[in-house]
Structure 1
């Protein structure tokens, strides 16, 4: 009786979650939590031998929404069996190999080939089934229950990556793919949205199942295609042929697809995909492994629910839900006040999460989190950064209020709201701002003062009243030797490091100043163009906006910074104390026959032998132009270890990529390509 009650409870609970997830597009729990309950139900059904009529294990998809025209697929859209670890994956492969061997023993004259495999990304969006007749898109639908879906032709037509006509005109075909919203598109959409979207999956699903196609168009969705489910006039011998057909007919195919004769290589590829996952500009929750040979697929066939020739390998979830417990407020070097959320500890992407970012007060308002303390929220972790709160699980304002500060939590000064952010304007006497500015000034990419740390900056502020970077150049041995934990050696080393920093180049000095809205690449552009500190300080907005990667907001930040009397005084003080801030001398010119001469090059990922800074210098010395972003004007991308979204974009644009660092160094050294 206890087992039966648990079965009934799981079925009811999972069906409720499925209704909210698939039908209403309002998920109540994360995929990770749903999968745990689903796996428990599968195990309990196997143990008891009982499957209730309404069990979600007995169906493929969700219910139809009212308002959409039903569409019966010409060929079924199957779900996939899943493997959540390598042992389960190996079990799937062993079963497939055994079935192939059994067939070959009975059919020695027409044996199946040894299995080879294709590995594709498993996108986290909404499945699309497109119907083309005589080259024209005549219908588009959701998966529905696998046999009948919802007609969404008007919505799908708003996706620019979906071809409205294709070269193939010989009858009818159905093509399957996934409608997605890129993460960068989602972030830009949420900057101005009155109702921000919680995640990219729900954004895509909600747009495609919206009765107003204009709403779909506003989301700027994309789609990847990976299967021809039905054709009345063409057949393929293997998966490669089918993918070539899709590409030839202008369907967008994801570049991350690989073919393997060895199953060990399949496992290695899965590990690489999982490493690359945080750098992708779209959500994936795993990878799909398929046997490539079409005749083998036909022989292996299907179970009641799954093809025997394919399996989905699930990755560790990057999104889950937890309780928002409290919010604290931190002061940054520009005076910006940033909220930091403490949540109930939860496992996510292999780590225990207790803190999450909330960005700013505008973010709290947009995500309906103003009254969310003590309630359940969605959180997401990616790229090994602090997780982000995406929004409340429910729409009700049923939690305690997050109270915004009116005075600085560090110095007590009145706060000012500018746009979505709160600021403390007491930059000359607010300790966290001062310590952060001095720490940034001394950092490696800035003035590179060796052995300097945030702890050192805090000690110098508290005990020697160091209030700005210029004060570092007034320090002497007698000042330092009296400090706690400062012996003669440490004092002399710090003084020598400060002295050495005086000769840092103009680009490093400009970056060290911490000009709002400028990064290292922008300050390098300034240094290379003006070649003189005075010229940079007197530059106008018009002079700045003609430079690459400098828009109106950045130009205004630069001009405002150098117009500030306090900033001017600090810079003049440093120059008087011996800081040079000179532009590096121009080299004699690039090597005429260099492979890189005249090329626009982007560096991404970790270069172990050279480092990206040294690589950039070597490239520029050879006449290359090194930029920070990939575009159609990019000639070459150098991709080191754990290369991210820049590599993805380069592949999508068809830009040549060098991923072998040894090959890159050979080319730098003038060896032939």
Structure 2
């Protein structure tokens, strides 16, 4: 094919996607797909030595929307060159080192210092440019084309992390940052939204470029700041100075900024950020590496499009688009019937994805997916969980219909709609429900029956007619040894593990029962409070609601669960067969005069000399209150190996931190004696 014709087609397609993404805030392909097209165009331009006049490689940004007042930035907002892999990143650094060496040869009396680097997160939101004059916020704008943006001051004022005034009052400055929507905020917003948002990036961009600031306020946006792009008075010697200036002037600066003198350490930091990525409460699509020294930045300067002193390192995409091929319905241990989507195989975050979650019928309706079979949808993968479908690429009902089942796909029992979920109420004879309940009962955090799996539960159901957890305690060696793929050793091991499980404590037993809406922490709280299984079973809604972290829904779930004669009969049967459900040991007297007494303590990272649960128990015995999140009320953070965002936040808030595990253990032992 003619290279010029290919380039014309690529330019037309990329410009169409730029318009969808930047102007309409309605992308129809993922960032990963766009980057592939863009890189193809860059390669052709390099190969032919030709650049078309309207090529997106020649400009930054897109067209301006009508309805917003144009704002000319006091200094240009540069985009960043991209490094897609370690080799390209190394090339960027080698070029910077060479340029510094060349400069120093020409200026031996005033050489530039050895290179040092700042590594920051690359947010996936909308770039903001804020103008402050004599300490007051007087304008806010989008990036636009890098020279002219759109004025969005009323929208920006709704973001609580944006200061309306700052201590610095000596002239005018422009500060750049990123407007984002936290993932937890997006999740809460979508629970009640008439039109759920497809992702956090669209949520932020759509809010900031909405002509009604009330809509912006409803999205509860956040913002992080990372650059002073213009100042008519102040100058900085280093990136650290600039960041300190931003913090001192009440700008929210992300705690994940690290500094290195060795470029190999930069590489290690990038790997750590990638590991930490899935635990963050906001989207990032990479990291930014900047040279710290400002005089070096000035010496290196800019190309036509990019600064030579900074580069963006792109991570594997966590979002992409693919085709929704089919939907099947699966039955869980509680009888909940959930949809599972089969999609056209696609590479996402380093793995091939073919299955995606759809959560429930309500989720399908809210995301406009009822008529989406055969159409293109957005999907997102986070951590190692099954990817989620975020929504349709287009708004039209132009696909095949997802049919909601009326009868259980496993047992044929009529289904009941409760809230947004479908349920099969055939608890006694629905195979996947029974197998799910028995598997959960035997799991590690429950009765901890070693070597037990869902395959084992299925085999016991099919070949020995085991329908409930209590029947595990009636199994015999003669029964097990006759099963397919069950030898004498496997049979003995399973019987020994079942016998050992009889000694599990009350909290584990309560969790093993699978009480709806009751997780491990609630089960432990019930065990610690009542200290007797039958007392828990007899509790009413009023007394349960009075307990910590128990609301009306959880209390009602617990009472209804123990009101079921089938459940009660199973429990009594297990007790008669030797299950102890042992009450926890009586709580020890809490010390009131230890180093930890009265302190709110957070544990994070990996401890090697004890588990976090054991550390929590010892801290509480010494009078501490152990919580899960860092806030201004936190007094002390215990940081084990690979501590992440909690450690960074604690340091930002000036909270006392113990990072040496040996020192922590010494303190515990010293105060306990």
TM class by shorter-chain length?
Answer: over 0.9
**1:414 maps to which residue?**
414
Match of 1:355 in 2: 355
Report the 3-state secondary structure (helix = DSSP H, G, I; strand = E; otherwise coil) of the residue aligned with 2:307: coil
| Map of 1:327 onto structure 2 | 327
Q: CA deviation at 1:336?
A: 0.7
Q: Matches of residues 207-286 of structure 1 in structure 2 within 5 Å?
A: 207-286=207-286
1:494 correspondence with 2:521: no
Report what 2:463 is aligned to. 463
String of CA shifts for 1:153-192, please: whole Å, max 9, x gaps: 0000000000111111111111100000000000111111
- Distance in 2, matches of 1:511 and 1:652, equals 38
Aligned-pair CA distance for 1:246? 0.7
| Partners of 1:180 and 1:60 in 2: CA distance | 20
Structure 1 residue matching 2:44: 3-state secondary structure = helix
Partner Cα separation in structure 2 for residue 366 and residue 657 of structure 1: 44
SS of equivalent to 1:228: strand
Mapped partners of 1:616, 1:294: distance in 2: 46
Q: Which residue of 2 aligns with 1:29?
A: 29
In the alignment, is the contact (CA less than 8 A) between 1:448 and 1:501 conserved in 2?
yes
Task: Give unmatched runs, 5+ long, in structure 1.
Answer: none
- Does residue 100 (structure 1) correspond to residue 105 (structure 2)? The answer is no
| Residues in 2 aligned to 1:383 and 1:292: alpha-carbon distance in whole angstroms | 32
Deviations 1:22-78 (A, max 9, x none): 000000111011111111111111111111110000001111100000000011101
How much does 1:345 deviate?
Answer: 1.0
Q: CA deviation at 1:661?
A: 4.5
Note the alpha carbon deviations across 1:422-457, whole angstroms, 9 max, x for none. Answer: 111111111111111111111111111122221221
Shift of 1:559: 2.1
Correspondence 1:518 to 2:518: yes
Note the C-alpha offset of 1:145.
Answer: 0.5
Report the equivalent of 2:364: 364
Q: Distance in 2 between matches of 1:641 and 1:204?
A: 34
Q: Return the offset for 1:614.
A: 3.9
Q: Once structures 1 and 2 are overlaid, which stretch shifts more, 143-152 or 230-239? A: 230-239
Q: Which residue in 2 is equivalent to 1:391?
A: 391
TM-score (norm 1): 0.95
Distance in 1 between residues matched to 2:123 and 2:3, nearest whole Å: 35
Q: Per the alignment, do residues 629 and 106 of structure 1 end up closer, same or farther by CA in structure 2, a change over 3 Å counting?
A: closer
Distance 2:642 2:160 in 1: 30
Q: Provide TM-score, normalisation by structure 2.
A: 0.95
The alignment status of 1:9 with 2:9, answered yes or no, reads yes
Separation in structure 2 between the aligned mates of residue 83 and residue 515 of structure 1, nearest angstrom:
50
Q: Which residue of the partner structure matches residue 508 of structure 1?
A: 508
Q: Point out the more displaced range, 287-296 or 630-639.
A: 630-639
Q: Does residue 1:527 correspond to 2:527, yes or no? A: yes
CA contact (8 A) 1:280 1:648 kept: no
Map of 1:154-233 to 2, 5 A cutoff?
154-233=154-233
Q: Distance in 1 between matches of 2:76 and 2:132?
A: 16
Q: Runs of 5+ in structure 2 lacking a partner?
A: none
Q: Displacement, 1:578?
A: 2.1
Contact 2:162–2:251 under 8 Å retained in 1: yes
Counterpart residue number, 2:556? 556
Deviation at 1:152, TM superposition (A): 0.2
Counterpart for residue 291 of structure 1: 291
The equivalent residue for 1:578 is 578
The answer to whether the aligner puts 1:125 opposite 2:125 as a matched pair is: yes
**Contact 1:595 1:670 (C-alpha < 8 Å) held by counterparts:** no
| Aligned: 1:310 with 2:276 | no
Preserved CA contact (<8 Å) 2:594 2:671:
no
Structure-2 change in CA distance of 1:650 and 1:527 (3 Å): farther
Distance 1:441 1:284, change over 3 A: same
C-alpha distance in 2, partners of 1:14/1:128? 24
Q: Is the 8 A contact 1:276 1:642 kept in 2?
A: no
Choose 165-174 or 21-30, whichever is displaced more: 165-174
Separation (CA, whole Å) in 2 of partners of 1:408 and 1:650: 50
Deviation at 1:521, TM superposition (A): 1.2
- Partners of 1:263 and 1:41 lie apart in 2 by 30
CA-to-aligned-CA distance 1:557-607 (integer Å, 9 cap, x gap): 222222222222222222222222122212544577755444444444544
Moved more, 486-495 or 217-226: 486-495
Query: Within 2, Cα distance between the matches of 1:535 and 1:571?
Result: 13
CA contact 1:602–1:636 (8 Å) conserved in 2:
yes
Write out per-residue CA displacement over residues 297-330 of structure 1, whole angstroms, 9 at most, x where no aligned residue: 1121111111111111111111111111111111
The 3 A distance-change label for structure 1 pair 604 and 425 is farther
- Aligned-pair CA distance for 1:492: 3.0
- Structure 1 window deviating more from structure 2 (256-265 vs 634-643): it is 634-643
Q: Is 1:375 the equivalent of 2:354? A: no
Evaluate the alpha carbon distance shift between residue 246 and residue 26 of structure 1 in structure 2; reply closer, same or farther with a 3 A threshold: same
Q: 1:379 Cα shift?
A: 0.8
Deviations 1:269-289 (CA, angstroms, capped at 9, x unpaired): 111111111110000011111
Q: Which shifted more, 247-256 or 513-522?
A: 513-522
- Tell me the equivalent position of 1:453: 453
Number of the residue aligned with 1:475? 475
The answer to whether the Cα contact below 8 Å between 1:415 and 1:424 also exists between their aligned partners in 2 is yes
Deviation of the 1:479 alpha carbon: 3.0
Determine if contact 1:521/1:628 at 8 Å carries over to the other structure. Answer: no
Q: Which moved more, 1:596-605 or 1:519-528?
A: 596-605
Residue 28 and residue 661 in structure 1: after superposition, are their counterparts in 2 closer, same or farther (change >3 A)? farther
Is residue 339–residue 359 contact of structure 1 (8 Å, CA) maintained in 2?
yes
Contact 1:179 1:224 in 2 (8 A): yes
* Distance 1:321-1:656 versus aligned 2 partners, 3 A rule: farther
Q: In terms of mean alpha carbon deviation, does 616-625 or 429-438 score higher?
A: 616-625
CA RMSD of aligned residues (A): 2.1
Preserved CA contact (<8 Å) 2:117 2:290: yes
**Change over 3 Å in CA distance of 1:653–1:219 after alignment to 2:** farther
Q: Compute the displacement of 1:553 (Å).
A: 2.1
Q: 1:88 to 1:377 in 2, by over 3 A?
A: same
Please report how far the alpha carbon of residue 551 of structure 1 lies from its aligned counterpart in structure 2 after TM superposition. 2.5
Aligned residue for 2:441, secondary structure, equals: helix
Q: Secondary structure at the match of 1:362?
A: helix
Cross-structure match for 1:439: 439
Deviates more, 1:3-12 or 1:580-589: 580-589
2:622–2:671 contact (8 Å) kept in structure 1: no
- In the TM superposition, residue 550 of structure 1 has moved relative to its aligned partner by 2.4
SS at match of 2:169: coil
Instruction: Return the offset for 1:390.
Output: 0.8
| CA gap 1:111/1:653 in 2 versus in 1, 3 angstroms | closer
> Counterparts of 1:652-663 in structure 2 under 5 Å?
655-658=655-658, 661-663=661-663
2:131 partner SS: strand
CA displacement at 1:645 relative to structure 2: 6.2
Aligned to 1:78: 78
Q: Is the 8 A contact 2:368 2:392 kept in 1?
A: yes
